[in-house]
Chains A and B, each alone.
Chain A
Amino acid sequence: MDVLVCVKRVPMVGGLVQLTADGLDVDTRMSGFTVSPHEECAVEEAVRITEREGGAVTVLTLGPPEAADQLRDMLALGAHRAVLLETDGREWGPTATAAAIAQAVTGPEFPSFPLLIFGNEAADTGGYQVGIRVAHLLGLPCVTGIKRLALAGGVLRAGRENEEFEVALPAVVTVREGINLPRYPSLPGRLRARRAEITVQRPEFQPDGLRKERLRVPAVPRQQAQILGNGVDAVPALVRVLDDLGVLP
């Protein structure tokens, strides 16, 4: 089964998010970029499906030329093809992004994907929109917030906390971290990723309703650690805490 997974290049951050001087971006000079954990799980889920069912995983992103790094990271995890919808660095809103993705995947150079997987929400903007909007544009059913996925006889069973869905394919699914434990890239995988050709398309910029004014780092309550004691003396207190957390058998 051919599966499409969409990912987004987002800043990697530590505990304290730092902004650029103009307040418009996260300062990534000393941190770098990644994809959201939801999306990494989406790629893992897709790779596992193709390992079982055959077919290929195509990973797609819309972003600047540097987003090719994230595509290669996903290729190293087992994705087979990569597509970069290259932008000039301007911020694309969810409407335009979804439109560009929908247009691209219906193009003649791609197979018709029975399954399109997205992360539940982007790690930076947290808009929860692109997956749903693509489904709408393509006229496909969509289930969101999924943490369990199974395929049987052309029917997709998708679950989240207390709900189970049966969805006919083709369909769009947005998944959440925890659906699986993504693998680490193997070294042969890294080498394959390095040599892989990335398909590049350049969709035309479409301004849409959302525009970023500036970013603000919310005040985070300072975490307070509590010292339970020193050495062996701390054991009873530690056991009480673990018991309260319900992690003891």
Chain B
Amino acid sequence: MSDAPDRASAAGGFGGSSPRASAVNIGAGIVGNSLACHLARLGWTELVLVDKGPMPNPGGSTGHASNFIFPIEYSKMMMELTRDSTEQYKELGVFTESGGIEVARTQARMTELRRRCSQARSWGIPAELLTPEGVAKLVPYLEPSVILGGAYFPTVGVVDSLRAGTLMRESAQQVGALTVLAGTEVLGIDKSEDGRVTAVRTSKGVIATDVCAICCGVWTPRIARMAGARIPLTPIVHQMISVGPIALFDAAVGEIAYPIVRDVDENMYERQHGGDIEVGSYAHRPMIVSPDDIPSIEAAVLSPTEMPFTQDDFDPQLEKALELMPELLGDERAGQRYAINGLISMTPDGHPVLGETPEVPGLWSVAASWIKEGPGIGRAVAEWMSGVTPEIDIHEADVSRFYSHQRTTAHVTARAAEGFNKMYGIVHPAEQWESGRPLRLGPAYQRERELGAVFHETAGWERPMWYASNSGLLDRYEGRLMDRGGEWESRWWSPIINAEHLAMRDAAGLFDLSAFAVLDITGPGALEAVQRVAVAQSHVPVGRVVYTSLLDDAGGFRADLTIMRLGPRQFRVVTGGATGMMDLKWITDHLPADGTAHVCDLTSSWTTLGLWGPRARDILQRLTPDDVSNDGFPFATCREIEVGGMTVLASRISYVGELGWELHAPIEQGARLWDVVFEAGKPHGLIPAGIGVYGTTARLEKGYRAYGAELDAHYNLVEAGMARPRVKAEDFVGKTAYLAQREAPPAAVLCTLTVDDHVSESGELRYMLGGEPVLTEDGEPLTDARGRRSYVTSAGSGPSVGAHLLMAYLPREQAVAGTPLTVEYLSEPYPVTVAVAGSTPLFDPRNERIRC
């Protein structure tokens, strides 16, 4: 350990009195090494990699990782990062394919494994359902009577992550791009007066730099705090034991000869590791450790992240492990040779935290990665740091996604604790968090509670999904509700959503849209700032509303939002709560360099109610002396009107396909606005309507795309059917790529499909929820010219069109209305038909209801 300083200076000759680095990467685990390697490949020189510990294992989580990689994930981003990492490990020669099996002990899990195999198919990952005997054939030491079956993923493998890190680090050293400073503690991060990173202070001196990348895993929050940034991550214990010598493995050659088993119902895994078998657990109580309490290298018994094992916490799991592998683990001659409370990183939403921190320009977070994503994350962030759009869309991992409250210690630890035992859980796509709620409440929250609202959370906001007070509508719309029998499809759902939908289409609905993020762009350079990021022409008269996408440099989607021009030098961006903070950073990062425009987050100042439906004008006209007729207040315009003694900014747009307005009011007047509209609406049949209608049913009927579902960096405006006839003359981010996209026919076309038959083989009615593979009638996967598989991007009821609706990008050949296809759900094919290719709505295709 103490030889590290010499080794460092020998490696790079880093001995100058005031050294300067292009970037200082802190942390030499799999992520830091990978980042250094990829930065060097992208042409960076004079990089410095600092770690307090010795090489090649400085004592972080990489050093005790179990090092196995399952290709299947719940998130597409995580799957792609894993896929890229696996390729990189293979190139480095450190990957051994072993196969892996998730076994089911319960019927619910067996169903989940069917879903998982379908999901794998969506992404082109080999997967196969096995009987208990099929599992035992591959893993002869597993007791088949304990399980109901398994899902086999043959491309699972193990890696040598320390070796991979060493090879990556050395590749950057060999081209003379990297100096490695092992045994070097970071003491501080200096900033300029305007808050940018200027230097990293270490125990070996000060290194001047504009860029500092924190790749410190569990120590990340502590290092970030030195620069005044808060990175929401907490160390948490993951217990692991290694048992051996295992007689069966005596003759085995190499590290692993049998598939890795995930005993997912027990939150455990078992894998061969040479002559031993490793048993890991996520079943124990969540044990959160503060980054400040992690022992130093000197004080640690094993290593700082290999904390002393607490046997009591693991003991209950032993019986389960023995039950599954009685002969192997029950051998009295095999002992528990190694046992740790290993520290790993957890974030409030389970995703990594990547990107430049919003608080400190030049300070990058590259944290909360597993071994399986490390190299992919290194590559993606290196691209990002180099000004290149990452090939993989990593917006779900963007460090700027968090609101302030989500970066508090209380929130991070509560969500990490809640998420820990769900690591292998059966997690529903609409699964709700329980901790730290309610937190952000719209002004009408109490009214909504009294109406029996069922709230789901977005970015801390409590949003009504549907209202129990509307249960009376169920009778009115009986026969049109597409009620779901299956427990899974009806979880976090209610037929009231579909009743609210129909009532809104018949009369009107009042929506609470408080969760919108509201960002004002002001100043003499405001127009230039908006034009720079928006695809749509924003040089419009004051009072116009522009719906636009924001693109990245490669022409992929970065955001999808509306902009109101409120004045010659004032634009108001209204965007989704989930992406608000990312959009804020994106816009901020692209402001004119001369400081002539500013962006201000007004989310907490403005609340939004949505009033839509054929009776919306009648209702609003009762409340205002202003002219809200079609001529007096045309579609896609906005202006202030008087409503019930308040001044309200009304914006005539719609995401539900009906006549109506967004009504923006100062937040303290929001409750009154709710009351006056609600009262005025009663005689017209106005109902409170939830986000179930707004975000799914009405949207799908109208073919409206959603960022994060249909719109991400992997698809473009042409493929999404959103290209406009003309491209504005002004330059904007992504324009070059967009112009090129317009030149060639699209590789895929976003389509709306209808499900023709919901009856499963066992006679139940089943409804897809999204993510399922779209196949030919013969069950063959569809792959477009760019190698992308077709899968369901969004799914939901279309009560007014009487069909369950799906959206999917299809190869051009299949993107023809009337084409019969199938969708695999729970391992069974269901017939579907392409209803619309492109963006024409299925409901009210001429948009007459909106523009009347």
Taking Cβ atoms with an 8 Å cutoff, the residues of A that contact B are: 12-18, 29-32, 69, 72-73, 183-191, 194, 222-227, 230
Contacts and interface: CB of A to CB of B under 8 A. Distances in A.
Contact of A227 (B6, B301, B330): B6
Contact of B298 (A16, A32, A185, A191): A16
Interface string B291-325: 00111101111100001111110010011011000
Given A186-B336, A187-B318, A190-B311, A225 B299 contact: no
B141 to A, nearest CB: 13
A191 B295 CA distance: 30
Nearest to B293: A30
Contacts of A32: 301, 307-310
B299 A31 contact: yes
Interface string B1-40: 1110011001000000000000000000000000000000
B828 interface: no
A185 B242 CA distance: 11
Interface residues of B, number: 37
Given A31-B295, A191-B318, A69 B312 contact: yes
B20 to A, nearest CB: 27
A85 B258 CA distance: 47
A185 B299 contact: no
A175 B313 CA distance: 32
A16 B3 CA distance: 18
A184 B335 contact: yes
Given A13-B301, A15-B299, A16-B296, A30 B332 contact: no
A14 B243 contact: no
A80 to B, nearest CB: 15
Given A30-B294, A188-B332, A18 B299 contact: yes
B243 A187 contact: yes
A185 B307 contact: no
B331 interface: yes
A151 to B, nearest CB: 23
6 contacts: A14-B298, A32-B308, A32-B310, A183-B335, A185-B336, A188-B332
A30 B335 CA distance: 25
Given A187-B330, A191-B319, 8 more contacts: A16-B296, A16-B299, A17-B299, A31-B295, A69-B312, A186-B333, A227-B6, A227-B7
B311 A69 contact: yes
Contact of A224 (B2, B289, B294, B307): B2
B295 A14 contact: yes
B416 interface: no
B330 A188 contact: yes
Nearest to B312: A69
Interface in B263-306: 289, 293-296, 298-302
Contacts of A12: 301, 308
Contacts of A13: 299, 301
B298 A15 contact: yes
Contacts of A185: 335-336
B318 A30 contact: no
B786 interface: no
A30 B307 contact: yes
Contacts of A72: 311
Nearest to A187: B329
A230 B337 CA distance: 33
Greatest chain B CB density within 10 A among A15, A73, A190 is at A190
B1 A184 contact: no
Contacts of A226: 3
A194 B276 CA distance: 23
Contacts of A16: 296, 298-299
A190 B481 CA distance: 56
Q: Nearest 3 pairs between A and B by C-beta?
A: A184-B335, A32-B308, A16-B298
Given A184-B336, A188-B322, A31 B312 contact: no
A223 B311 contact: no
B336 A14 contact: no
Given A14-B301, A189-B332, A30 B337 contact: no
Nearest to A13: B301
B334 A14 contact: no
B525 to A, nearest CB: 53
Contacts of B2: 222-225
A186 B334 CA distance: 6
Nearest to B338: A184
Contacts of A17: 299
Contacts of A18: 295, 299
Nearest to B245: A184
Contacts of B289: 30
B126 to A, nearest CB: 33
A32 B309 CA distance: 8
A138 B160 CA distance: 57
Nearest to A18: B299
Contacts of A69: 311-312
Nearest to A32: B308
A78 to B, nearest CB: 9
Contacts of B300: 14-15, 30-31
A42 B337 CA distance: 19
A204 B307 CA distance: 35
B293 A29 contact: yes
Contacts of A15: 298-300
B337 A184 contact: yes
Interface string B586-620: 00000000000000000000000000000000000
Contact of B336 (A31, A187, A223): A187
A190 B332 contact: no
B332 A31 contact: no
Contacts of B295: 14, 18, 30-31
B331 A186 contact: yes
Contacts of A29: 293
Contacts of A73: 311
Nearest to B298: A16
Contacts of B335: 183-186
A186 B327 CA distance: 12
A186 B328 CA distance: 11
Residue among B10, B310, B315, B321 with most chain A CB within 10 A: B315
A208 B744 CA distance: 92
Given A30-B295, A224-B2, A227-B7, A190 B336 contact: yes
Interface in B697-753: none
Given A32-B310, A225-B1, A227-B6, A187 B322 contact: yes
B284 to A, nearest CB: 14
B241 to A, nearest CB: 9
Contact of B315 (A30, A184, A194): A194
A223 B315 CA distance: 39
Contacts of B296: 16
A190 B315 contact: yes
A187 B321 contact: yes
A133 B145 CA distance: 56
A194 B318 CA distance: 10
B676 to A, nearest CB: 58
Contacts of A222: 2
Contacts of A189: 332
Nearest to A230: B10
Contacts of B336: 184-187, 190
A30 B2 CA distance: 23
A31 B309 CA distance: 9
Interface in B27-79: none
Contacts of A225: 1-3
**Residue of B1, B293, B301, B329 with most chain A CB atoms under a 10 A cut-off:** B301
Nearest to A182: B335
A13 B336 CA distance: 20
A221 B24 CA distance: 32
Contacts of B321: 187
Which of A73, A187, A230 counts the most chain B CB atoms within 10 A? A187
B68 to A, nearest CB: 21
